[in-house]
Amino acid sequence: MESTLYSIRMHATRLDTHLSGAEALVSETELKRAAADLVERALGHSKGKAHSIRISIDDLTDTEVVRGRLPDLVTVPVADYLDGRQAAAKLLRWAGVSNFAITRSMEDLGRGAAPGNKAMRGAMLVDAVSGERLEPDTSRGVRVSRLGLTPATTDALRSALQTLGLDNDHVREALALAGKVLASGQVLAELCWSDDPDYTAGYVAAPGLGYVRFPHLKPLGEDRGGRAFFVPPALRDLTSLIFFLQETPWLADGLGHLHPPIALETLRELLDRRA
Ligand code: PML
């Protein structure tokens, strides 16, 4: 019989503003270690020590845990963030997102998608054709939560990412999050770039595409960023999508293919050949 899984989540603040958040799905034997790792992370943040750390732990005994594989990953080198955004736009169009929805979402992420042009911690939900914002709360967005990797998947991912020079928290966590978003089966594509001023990378993820990262999607020093999930206009049942993303535990129990960097044109030829 499988041992009970726990969802463990950490949220840390400094000077009353968000500093760090992270989470995992772990067994009882891994729980203490996971809590210590999360506390260490909140105290060792590059922006300073947390003033407040909240850890919440939920027993998932009576909750169905959905399992799945992480998406394939590839990096597309780009000269700068403008080049990166153009390349990302091409992939989003390939996934069925309109020009208008792409431009509008990139503008929102660039200026801060929450009211008052603040960076939004959750994601925007965007109609892939009209570009209309659909998330019920535009200051909070949709927070993808309750996700993790099995210990064997973490080990395999870390060693595969190490060979690509990409084994860092940003990549591991974003790849897992994109995996859960794609597992919903209701999102046409995701666009993300980091709101960490020292981290310029971002990605587009979509079914049939996997996770395509770009080293630059914003200028260095910029602290605006976040995520947009593009949904088909016919998707009426946003409640079940939001419930899946926020509440349903999703555990990655296998890797996708992790490819060496590839030029955008080569990637597009591969996609066209597959179509
Ligand atoms: C990556 O380098 O692939 C991660 C890009 C997005 C990171 C989002 C974040 O950590 O804020």
- pLDDT (tens digit per residue) in 198-224: 999 999 999 999 999 999 999 999 989
One domain, residues 174 and 263: yes
Ligand 1 centroid, distance to 36 Cα (angstroms): 23
Q: Please give the DSSP secondary-structure letter assigned to residue 30.
A: H
3: CA distance to ligand 1 center in Å?
Answer: 31
Counting ligand 1 atoms within 8 A of each CB, the residue from 19, 157, 192 with the most, and so the one to mutate, is 192
Task: Please name which of 165, 160, 164, 143 lies closest in space to residue 254, comparing C-alpha atoms.
Answer: 160
Q: How far is the CA of 178 from the centre of ligand 1 (A)?
A: 10
The answer to whether the CB of 255 is under 6 A from ligand 1 is: no
If asked whether residues 12 and 122 sit together in one domain, one would say no
Please state the atom number of ligand 1 nearest to the C-alpha of residue 195: 11
Domains of the chain: total: 2
Q: What is the DSSP letter of 259?
A: P
Do 54 and 141 lie in one domain? The reply is no
Domain co-membership, 42 together with 119: no
Quick check: CB of 121 below 6 Å from ligand 1? Answer: no
Q: Is residue 198 exposed (0-12), middle (13-18) or buried (19+ Cβ within 10 Å)? A: exposed
pTM summary value = 0.95
Q: In this predicted structure, what is the pLDDT of residue 2?
A: 62
Distance CA 25, CA 31 (A): 9
Q: Which atom of ligand 1 is nearest to the CA of 192?
A: 6
Angle at 96 between CA 81 and CA 269, to 5 degrees: 70
Same domain as 154, residue 95: yes
Domain that holds residue 245: 67-274
Q: What HEC string does 69-136 produce?
A: CCCCEEECCCCCHHHHHHHHHHHHHHCCCCHHHHHHHHHHHHHCCEHHHECCCCEEEEECCCCCECCC
Ligand 1 contact via 212 beta carbon (within 6 Å): no
Task: Answer yes or no: do 16 and 96 share one domain.
Answer: no
| Ordered DSSP codes for 153-181 | HHHHHHHHHHHTT--SHHHHHHHHHHHHH
Measure 171 CA to ligand 1 centroid, in angstroms.
Answer: 5
Helix axes 264-274 and 81-94, enclosed angle (nearest 10): 0
Q: Indicate whether 30 and 153 sit together in one domain.
A: no
109 within ligand 1 shell (Cβ under 6 A): no
User: Is 167 touching ligand 1 by the criterion CB < 6 Å?
Assistant: no
Cα 35 to ligand 1 centroid, rounded to whole Å = 23
Instruction: Please give the pLDDT value at position 147.
Output: 97
Query: What is the tens place of the pLDDT at every residue in 1-19?
Result: 467 899 999 999 988 788 8
Ranges in the chain, pLDDT < 50? 1
